[in-house]
Structures are given as structure tokens and as C-alpha cells.
């Protein structure tokens, strides 16, 4: 046994403040638990939002998907249903002057006033003479009189709506998709669906890619895991399309659309329009007529010739002067690629072009809005565009069905499973939570049918959580007594 005082247990403890040695090997201090990554704290919150938004918004999305599927197919159906009115019986050698075609239309339908004329854009297509103020026709619609451009024979008349020239079948489906035939109140449903579609798609995309690769497989799986695999795989492929449909759908919605228009205007990106004021000392000379016909001043044929001289090729629409101080407006109405949206104003007294507006000169956001809306409605790329929209609509229907099925399977196939646990937001670090809340508040202001329901979800969640907490506390106190 050593007698060196430096090795004395008591002295060593007094000098170094160490614990006395033991026969066991000293244990290393446990390593501190790694702090959770920002995503680890955010994932439960995203999962809960995706779940609740999917459960409550899905019925509205289902309606939008089904009606959108029908609308995408309505273009081809319209060509079949109204083939008699839209096409000529026999292609002739020479088309009659536009003025004669309008005269033929007015003889058959003298009611109302001529609001526009769409000359036959193709060899086998009829000319449309659009009449406003016709009894029995919706004030926002027109009566389209279809005239054979070779013979002047009227082949029929149908109610028409919108700049794309939708006829009754497509108009009915369009209004069903847009507002369920409930007017302005019904439009809230479609804006609500569009406001949340990108949130649900984005959340699902993030959740899918955050899962381990092995858990994303569909092949060789069954039950809830297989449903989740199908739901996630189709959702990933369709997510970009859903975000696009959501963004473009909001551009002409009631509240978000108004905010977008205000923002575009403040940035100098509003859609321009050609000046319809008649120019020079001739303004008002022969511009107005009381007959309700389109023939003012120099007449339709010279006006169309003036527009052609400025390069406005078919299809075009001629709008008569609104009053004695206005000019004719001739505008291209091709909404398929490449877009033809040039327009000119023509003085009715002289036949001279007083203003020209080229689509190439539109501000960038105005062009993007035009392209986005036309792609959303299935016009921009024709049949291919419409098939893609139908595929997106069908995929959304499948995703909704699989989503509810997963919820059912979570309850082991006998009932819907329990919701995702509450309190996920409490696990998010303040440096992440505060910016997220601020961004959500700003976004909710500009997209109110996202912000208001989200606030409602949060309030309901807090209230339900407090009720559950008090019940548990009451049950615990009763058990103690």
C-alpha cells in the first residue's frame, strides 16, 4: 500500500474535490439529446393542417373537380350538339359582305340591338351576329344569330355567353362549375376551393418527400399503407397542376380576384384596352343610329377592311359605336396558341384607324393572366389542353376518395380514425412560428377565403382542446374523490 500523501484518498479528495475511487470503471456522461430539426417540429403541424383541410375542404373540391371535368369536355360536346348552327351546309366560292349578312340576321331577328358581329373565321364556319336586350335572354348574355356567309341564310339562333362564345350547353356547365347556378353567393364555393387547393397540394407534397423512400412504395403493400402510397404518388405527379389551377382560378374570383386586380393596377400591370373615342372633327357624324343595327357611318365592310389593313386576321369581333362620340372597335378573339388579341378603333365617319393596341405591348402580368386563364379553361392548347384538365380533375377525385379511405382505415375499417393530435404548433420554435404566422396573416388578408376559414379552424381547435382538457381534469378530480 503506498504512503505517498499525494495518493491518499482523503488528501486527494480535499485537494481536487473528487469523489473517492470505486472498484467500477467510471461512467461517461450521457451525450445531450440532439435538438430537433426545424422540419421535425413543423411536420406535425403540416400534417394536422393537411388532414383537417382535406376533411373539410374536400367536398367543395370534389364538386369543383367533377364540374371542371365536365367543362373541359364541353368544348367538344358543343361542336357536336350545335354543329348545324356553327357550320355551313356547303362551302361556297365567295362570302357575302358583312353588311349583307347582318341585314339577313336582322330580318330574321329584328328584336334587340346589334352588340357585336363575329365574321365567319373559317371556310365552313357561320357568322355570328350578337343581339343584346332581347326579351327572354339573360341581360348578361346575348342572342347569337348564325348566318351562312355564302348564302345569307340564317341557320339558327342560340343564347351566348362570355368572350369565348359559350353556347347553352357549355354556359350551363360553366355556371355550374363557377357558382352552382346560385349567382354571386354560389361563387364563394369555387373561391373557397381554389383558395385551399394549393395549400392542400403543397402540404401533401412536403409530407410525401419528407417520408423515407421505403415508405413511399405502392407495389407489394396492402391496406392503409397501399392507399397512402397511391394517394401520395398521384398527388406528387398532379401537385403542380393543382397549384396552377388554384392560382389561375383565384385571378377572377370575387374577393381574391379583386385584390389581385388592385395589385396589378398599382404595379402598372393592368390589362389595357384600345381607346374607343372617335377622333378629330368628325366625331359624332353619323356615329349613332336609332335602328339598333350595326351600320353606323362608313359601315361594317369599310371598318373591317381598315382593321385588316392593320393586320387583324381572323377570328375578329366588330363592336359598333356605343354612342355618337364613340368609334367602332375591332378586336381579335383567338384565345388559343398563339394568342390573337390585337385591337383597333375605327372612326365611323371617316373609316380611319384612330387607335391600335397590340397584344405584344401588354404588360407582362397582363399577358400571364391571359395565358393562365385560357390554359385553366382549356382553350390555350385545344384538345390536348382539355384532356390534361380532365386528367387533373379525375386525379383530384381519386385523391379525395383515397384520403377519406385512409381516414376510415385508420379506424381499422370499422369507423373513421381519430384526428391528428392537437398541440403541434406548440412544438414549433418561436423563430420559425412567428414568421409563419405573419406570412399566413398577410396571405389570409389577400385571400380571405383562406384566411377566415383558417382562423376559424384554429379557434375551433383551441376551444375543443380546452373542452377536452377540462373534461379530463374533471374526471381525474372525480376519481380522487
Instruction: Kindly state the cell numbers that stand for 49.
Output: 393542417
- Domain end point (choices 166, 188, 223): 166
Of 46-55, 351-360, 469-478, the least confident: 469-478
- Residue 361 is predicted with a pLDDT of 97
- Residue 458 is predicted with a pLDDT of 77
Claim to verify: residue 68 and residue 91 sit in the same structural domain? no
Per-residue pLDDT for 372 more than 50? Answer: yes
- Residue 287 is predicted with a pLDDT of 43
Q: Which residue has the higher pLDDT, 112 or 33?
A: 112
Claim to verify: residue 179 and residue 241 sit in the same structural domain? yes
Instruction: Kindly state the cell numbers that stand for 38.
Output: 426545424
Task: Examine residue 442 and state whether it is found in any structural domain, yes or no.
Answer: no
pLDDT in tens, 388-400: 999 999 999 999 9
**Distance between CA atoms of 319 and 322, rounded to whole angstroms?**
8
pLDDT in tens, 138-153: 999 999 999 999 999 9
- Residue 38 is predicted with a pLDDT of 65
Task: Examine residue 319 and state whether it is found in any structural domain, yes or no.
Answer: yes
Residue with cell 392560382: 247
Per-residue pLDDT for 430 more than 90? Answer: no
The sign of the dihedral angle between the CA atoms of 239, 240, 243, 248 is negative
- Residue 203 is predicted with a pLDDT of 92
| Best CA proximity match to 127, nearest among 136, 118, 139, 135 | 118
Task: Examine residue 10 and state whether it is found in any structural domain, yes or no.
Answer: no
- Residue 352 is predicted with a pLDDT of 96
CATH number of the domain encompassing residue 116: 3.10.450
- Residue 34 is predicted with a pLDDT of 54
What is the pLDDT averaged over residues 416-421? 68
What is the pLDDT averaged over residues 290-307? 84
Claim to verify: residue 177 and residue 152 sit in the same structural domain? no
Task: Examine residue 415 and state whether it is found in any structural domain, yes or no.
Answer: yes
Q: What is the four-CA torsion angle of 107, 109, 113, 117, rounded to 10 degrees? A: -80
Claim to verify: residue 145 and residue 185 sit in the same structural domain? no
**Distance between CA atoms of 51 and 410, rounded to whole angstroms?**
12
Claim to verify: residue 186 and residue 335 sit in the same structural domain? no
What is the pLDDT averaged over residues 363-377? 97
Claim to verify: residue 254 and residue 213 sit in the same structural domain? yes
Task: Examine residue 70 and state whether it is found in any structural domain, yes or no.
Answer: yes
Name the average pLDDT for the chain: 87
Per the structure, the complete domain to which residue 336 belongs is given by: 300-361
Claim to verify: residue 191 and residue 76 sit in the same structural domain? yes
Per-residue pLDDT for 371 more than 60? Answer: yes
Claim to verify: residue 77 and residue 124 sit in the same structural domain? no
What is the secondary structure of 34-99 as a DSSP string? PPPPHHHHHHHHHHHHHHHHHHHHHHHHHHHHHHHHHHHHHHHHHHHHTHHHHB-SS--SSPPPHH
Task: Examine residue 92 and state whether it is found in any structural domain, yes or no.
Answer: yes
- Residue 19 is predicted with a pLDDT of 44
- Residue 309 is predicted with a pLDDT of 97
Claim to verify: residue 75 and residue 197 sit in the same structural domain? yes
Q: For a pLDDT cut of 90, what percent of the chain falls above it?
A: 65
Task: Examine residue 135 and state whether it is found in any structural domain, yes or no.
Answer: yes
- Domain end point (choices 166, 200, 233): 166
Per-residue pLDDT for 33 more than 60? Answer: no
Residue 32 CB-density burial (10 A; 0-12 exposed, 13-18 middle, 19+ buried): exposed
| Best CA proximity match to 159, nearest among 149, 174, 148 | 174
Residue 4 pLDDT level (bands cut at 50, 70, 90): very low
- Residue 5 is predicted with a pLDDT of 39
- Residue 36 is predicted with a pLDDT of 58
Q: Which residue has the higher pLDDT, 283 or 44?
A: 44
Claim to verify: residue 333 and residue 232 sit in the same structural domain? no
**Whole-number Cα distances in Å, 73 to 59, 65, 79, 362, 389:** 22, 13, 11, 31, 9
Per-residue pLDDT for 32 more than 70? Answer: no
- Residue 63 is predicted with a pLDDT of 97
- Residue 223 is predicted with a pLDDT of 85
Claim to verify: residue 75 and residue 175 sit in the same structural domain? yes
Q: Based on the structure, what is the number of domains in the chain?
A: 3
Secondary structure tally for the chain: helices H, strands E: 13, 8
With beta carbons less than 8 A apart as the criterion, state whether 408 and 415 touch.
Answer: yes
- Residue 461 is predicted with a pLDDT of 72
Q: pTM for this one?
A: 0.85
Claim to verify: residue 266 and residue 173 sit in the same structural domain? yes
- Domain end point (choices 387, 408, 426): 426
What is the pLDDT averaged over residues 309-321? 97
Per-residue pLDDT for 213 more than 90? Answer: no
pLDDT in tens, 228-261: 999 999 999 999 999 999 999 999 899 999 999 9
pLDDT in tens, 157-183: 999 999 999 999 999 999 999 999 999
pLDDT in tens, 270-283: 999 999 997 644 44
Reduced to 3 states (helix: H, G, I; strand: E, B; else coil), residue 132 is strand
- Residue 295 is predicted with a pLDDT of 75
Task: Examine residue 58 and state whether it is found in any structural domain, yes or no.
Answer: yes
Amino acid at each position: 500500500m503506498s504512503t505517498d500523501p499525494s495518493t491518499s484518498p482523503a488528501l486527494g479528495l480535499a485537494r481536487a474535490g473528487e469523489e473517492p475511487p470505486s472498484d467500477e470503471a467510471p461512467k461517461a456522461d450521457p451525450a445531450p439529446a440532439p435538438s430537433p430539426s426545424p422540419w421535425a417540429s413543423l411536420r406535425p403541424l403540416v400534417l394536422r393542417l393537411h388532414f383537417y383541410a382535406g376533411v373539410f375542404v374536400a367536398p367543395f373540391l370534389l364538386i369543383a373537380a367533377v364540374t371542371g371535368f365536365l367543362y373541359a369536355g364541353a368544348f367538344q360536346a358543343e361542336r357536336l350538339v350545335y354543329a348545324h348552327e356553327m357550320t355551313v351546309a356547303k362551302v361556297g366560292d365567295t362570302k357575302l359582305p358583312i353588311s349583307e349578312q347582318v341585314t339577313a340576321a336582322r330580318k330574321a331577328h329584328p328584336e334587340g340591338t346589334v352588340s357585336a358581329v363575329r365574321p365567319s373565321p373559317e371556310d365552313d364556319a357561320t357568322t355570328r351576329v350578337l343581339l343584346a336586350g332581347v326579351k327572354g335572354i339573360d341581360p348578361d348574355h346575348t342572342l347569337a344569330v348564325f348566318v351562312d356567309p355564302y348564302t345569307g341564310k340564317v341557320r339558327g339562333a342560340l343564347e351566348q355567353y362570355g368572350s369565348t362564345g359559350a353556347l347553352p350547353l357549355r354556359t350551363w356547365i360553366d355556371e355550374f362549375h363557377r357558382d352552382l347556378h346560385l349567382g354571386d353567393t354560389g361563387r364563394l364555393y369555387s373561391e373557397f376551393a381554389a383558395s385551399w387547393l394549393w395549400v392542400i397540394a403543397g402540404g401533401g407534397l412536403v409530407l410525401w418527400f419528407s417520408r423515407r423512400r421505403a415508405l413511399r412504395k405502392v407495389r407489394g403493400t396492402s391496406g392503409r399503407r397501399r392507399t397512402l402510397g397511391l394517394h401520395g404518388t398521384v398527388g406528387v405527379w398532379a401537385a403542380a397542376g393543382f397549384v396552377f389551377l388554384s392560382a389561375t382560378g383565384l385571378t377572377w374570383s370575387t374577393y381574391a380576384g379583386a385584390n389581385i386586380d388592385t395589385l396589378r393596377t398599382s404595379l402598372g400591370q393592368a390589362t389595357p384596352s384600345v381607346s374607343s373615342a372617335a377622333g378629330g372633327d368628325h366625331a359624332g357624324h353619323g356615329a349613332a343610329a336609332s335602328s339598333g343595327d350595326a351600320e353606323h357611318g362608313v359601315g361594317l365592310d369599310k371598318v373591317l377592311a381598315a382593321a385588316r389593313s392593320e393586320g387583324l386576321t381572323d377570328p375578329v369581333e366588330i363592336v359598333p359605336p356605343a354612342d355618337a362620340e364613340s368609334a367602332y372597335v375591332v378586336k381579335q378573339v383567338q384565345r388559343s396558341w398563339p394568342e390573337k388579341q390585337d385591337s383597333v378603333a375605327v372612326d365611323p365617319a371617316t373609316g380611319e384607324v384612330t387607335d391600335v393596341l397590340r397584344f405584344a405591348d401588354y404588360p407582362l402580368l397582363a399577358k400571364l393572366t391571359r395565358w393562365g386563364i385560357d390554359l385553366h379553361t382549356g382553350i390555350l392548347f385545344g384538345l390536348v389542353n382539355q384532356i390534361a384538365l380532365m386528367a387533373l380533375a379525375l386525379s383530384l377525385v381519386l385523391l379525395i376518395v383515397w384520403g377519406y379511405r385512409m381516414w376510415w382505415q385508420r379506424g381499422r375499417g370499422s369507423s373513421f380514425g381519430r384526428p391528428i393530435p392537437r398541440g403541434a404548433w406548440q412544438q414549433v420554435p418561436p423563430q420559425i412560428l412567428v414568421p409563419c404566422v405573419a406570412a399566413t396573416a398577410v396571405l389570409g388578408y389577400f385571400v380571405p377565403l383562406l384566411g377566415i376559414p383558417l382562423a376559424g379552424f384554429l379557434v375551433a381547435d383551441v376551444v375543443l382542446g380546452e373542452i377536452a382538457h377540462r373534461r379530463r381534469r374533471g374526471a381525474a378530480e372525480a376519481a380522487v374523490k
